[in-house]
Structure 1
Amino acid sequence: MRSEIKGTTMPVLEMWLDSGESIISTHGELSWMTPNMTMNTTSGLGGGGKGLLAGIKRVAGGGSLFVTKYSAANGPGSVAFAAKMPGHIFPVEITQGAGYLVHRHGWLCATPGITPTIGLQQSFRAGLYGRDGFVLQRLEGSGTAWIELSGETITYDLQPGQSLLVHPGHVGMFQDTVAFQMTTIQGLSNIFFGGDGYHLVALTGPGKIWLQSMPLPILAHSLQPYIAPPQS
Structure 2
Amino acid sequence: MQAEIKGSTMPVLEVQLGPGEYVVTPHGELSWMSGNIQMSQTMSGGGPGNGGGFMGAIKRVMGGGSLFLTQYQAQGSAGLVAFASKVPGHIVPVDLAPGRSVMVHRHGWLAGTPGITPSVGFQQSIRGGLWGGDGFLLQKLEGQGRAWIELSGELTTYTLAPGQTMLAHPGHVGMFDQSVQFSMTRIPGIANKIFGQDGFLLVALTGPGQIWLQSMPLPNLAHSLAPYLPAQGGENVEAAGVGGLIGGMLR
TM-score by length of 2: 0.86
The code of the aligned residue for 1:92 comes to: V
Q: How far does residue 45 in structure 1 lie from its aligned partner after superposition?
A: 4.0
> Could you tell me which residue of structure 1 aligns to residue 53 of structure 2?
50
State which drifts further: 195-204 or 24-33.
195-204
Partners in 1 of 2:205 and 2:84 — Cα distance?
A: 30
Q: 2:45, 2:115 within 8 Å by CA — same for their partners in 1?
A: no
Q: Map Cα deviations across residues 153-195 of structure 1 (whole Å, 9 max, x no partner).
A: 11011111111111011100000000010111111xx322875
Partners in 1 of 2:194 and 2:39 — Cα distance?
A: 48
> Could you tell me which residue of structure 1 aligns to residue 139 of structure 2?
137
Partners in 1 of 2:37 and 2:45 — Cα distance?
A: 19
The count of aligned residue pairs is 229
- Output aligned runs, 1:50-69, within 5 Å: 50-51=53-54, 53-69=55-71
Q: How far does residue 49 in structure 1 lie from its aligned partner after superposition?
A: 2.8
The code of the aligned residue for 1:32 comes to: W
> Could you tell me which residue of structure 2 aligns to residue 104 of structure 1?
106
Q: 1:62, 1:121 within 8 Å by CA — same for their partners in 2?
A: no
Larger Rg: 2
Moved over 6 A (4+): none
State which drifts further: 36-45 or 1-10.
36-45
Partners in 2 of 1:223 and 1:135 — Cα distance?
A: 23
SS in 2 for 1:183: strand
Q: 1:60, 1:118 within 8 Å by CA — same for their partners in 2?
A: yes
TM-score by length of 1: 0.92
SS in 1 for 2:130: coil
RMSD of the alignment, in Å?
A: 1.9
Q: Does structure 1 residue 182 correspond to structure 2 residue 184?
A: yes
> Could you tell me which residue of structure 1 aligns to residue 40 of structure 2?
40
Partners in 1 of 2:193 and 2:79 — Cα distance?
A: 54
Partners in 2 of 1:199 and 1:127 — Cα distance?
A: 12
- Output aligned runs, 1:201-212, within 5 Å: 201-212=203-214
Partners in 2 of 1:205 and 1:129 — Cα distance?
A: 27
The code of the aligned residue for 1:128 comes to: L
The code of the aligned residue for 1:50 comes to: G
Q: 2:10, 2:88 within 8 Å by CA — same for their partners in 1?
A: yes
Unmatched tracts of structure 2, length 5 or more = 235-251
146, 149, 169: which is aligned to 2:148? 146
State which drifts further: 197-206 or 81-90.
197-206
Q: How far does residue 61 in structure 1 lie from its aligned partner after superposition?
A: 0.6
Unmatched tracts of structure 1, length 5 or more = none
86, 92, 95: which is aligned to 1:90? 92
Q: Does structure 1 residue 115 correspond to structure 2 residue 117?
A: yes
Q: Does structure 1 residue 231 correspond to structure 2 residue 240?
A: no
Q: 2:45, 2:116 within 8 Å by CA — same for their partners in 1?
A: no
- Work out the percentage of aligned pairs sharing the same amino acid: 60
Q: 2:13, 2:83 within 8 Å by CA — same for their partners in 1?
A: yes
